[in-house]
Amino acid sequence: MAARRRIAARRNWPQNLRQNSAGYYWFQHPETGKTYGLGRDFAIACAEARTANAEIERRKGHVTLLQRINGGETSLADWCDKYEEPRLSGKPNSVSAMKSQLRAIRAATFAVQAVHKVSPKDIADFIALCVQQRGATMASNIRKRLHDVFREAIAQGLVDVGKNPVEAIAKPKINVARSRLTLDDFKLILAKAREDKERQWAANAIELALISGQRREDIVSMQFGQIKDGFLWIEQSKGKEGSKSKLKIPLSLRLDALGTSLEDVLRRCRDNVATKNVIHFTRPNGAAVPGNAPGLSTMSQTFARIRDEAKIKVAPGKTPPSFHEIRSLAARLYAEERGAAFAQALLGHKSSSMTELYRDIRGREWTEIKLAV
């Protein structure tokens, strides 16, 4: 219910100040509803009401303007600004995601409180609201960012060690809706791509993604100069500078499930177009000329169109597999043929747990129980 509109003559009165018909002033506590008499002097009643309102806000943990000026307290919103500044020089997508997460945090009702006064209950309510309004995946990312915001606040002495309020809050449970790509699906999509001469670049990209196990970003940026000394040399695009995975993949690498080798696929990428790009247009494509590499969005959209043309079936409640699912399929196939450690090394993962996520088939395939011989 909307608050009752104030009488015009009382619009400049402090909040929670009241007057009865006999001219007596009183203060009503906004949370408990309890009333306190203030006498008949308007100036004194106003001063008392303003003081009480300020103290009530202070007890909530709200940082006042005077506190901010004096530097005695730092609100969570202000700390987010300081946290953000040294992190603006990262990758554009990472910076954009960080800004989005910090905007959500600043908009939280408790962001006006001092950093050290934010409670686990505040965080729990906020994350639950994020799940409801933004979805579990975004809520999980915001929770992760909040955890780092408070971790840095602890490092700067704004919060006591061991009192990160995010620690006690469970990660939102994420139900992944995207379907995995099966080998049969992949073969149908590749065959459909090969039918159209104008989309041979897409067929090459799809096949190269599976045989190499690399990400979409590394596929579209791959150049022929990376092929030397019997290896495909790749410095993966994902990761911080100085810690990116650097791979030397033998050209002789063969994926038996596909019946081809990395060298065979790279050979198919060479044609009569003079270009340094392994994946490239062979005919004009919009503003692009032959030899240009496709953009990431073009690659994703083209894959989605070919997938739909191939009539790939998706279970109810699931979304169709994207180009990125080729990487998951590569992890599963190589783990089957060469072992989990090989799959982890080829994908460039630092931990086996990440590779295990890629190998999760999400109910799409049957697992064969093999007998020892």
User: Residues with catalytic annotation?
Assistant: 215, 238, 324, 327, 349, 358
Q: From CA 227, how far away is CA 206, in angstroms rounded?
A: 19
- Write down the H helix ranges in the chain: 42-59, 65-70, 76-84, 92-106, 120-134, 136-155, 183-194, 200-212, 216-220, 262-268, 296-309, 325-338, 340-347, 352-359
Q: From CA 212, how far away is CA 128, in angstroms rounded?
A: 40
Q: How many CA atoms, within 13 angstroms, populate the side-chain half-sphere of residue 2?
A: 3
State the DSSP H helix or E strand holding residue 38, giving kind and residue range, or none if neither: strand 35-39
Give the distance from CA 30 to its chain's centroid: 39
246 backbone dihedrals φ, ψ, rounded to 5°? -120, 120
Q: From CA 41, how far away is CA 62, in angstroms rounded?
A: 30
Q: From CA 25, how far away is CA 13, in angstroms rounded?
A: 11
Q: From CA 222, how far away is CA 354, in angstroms rounded?
A: 24
| Residues contacting residue 345 through CB under 8 Å, at least 6 positions apart | 247
Q: From CA 303, how far away is CA 297, in angstroms rounded?
A: 10
Q: Is 86 helix (H, G, I), strand (E, B) or coil?
A: helix
Give the distance from CA 217 to its chain's centroid: 17
The label of the residue with tokens 């100040």 reads 17
Q: How many CA atoms, within 13 angstroms, populate the side-chain half-sphere of residue 325?
A: 23
Helix, strand, coil shares of the chain as percentages rounded to 5?
A: 50, 10, 40
Side chain identity at 73, as an amino acid letter?
A: E
Residue 189, token pair as written in the block = 């999509």
Side chain identity at 54, as an amino acid letter?
A: A
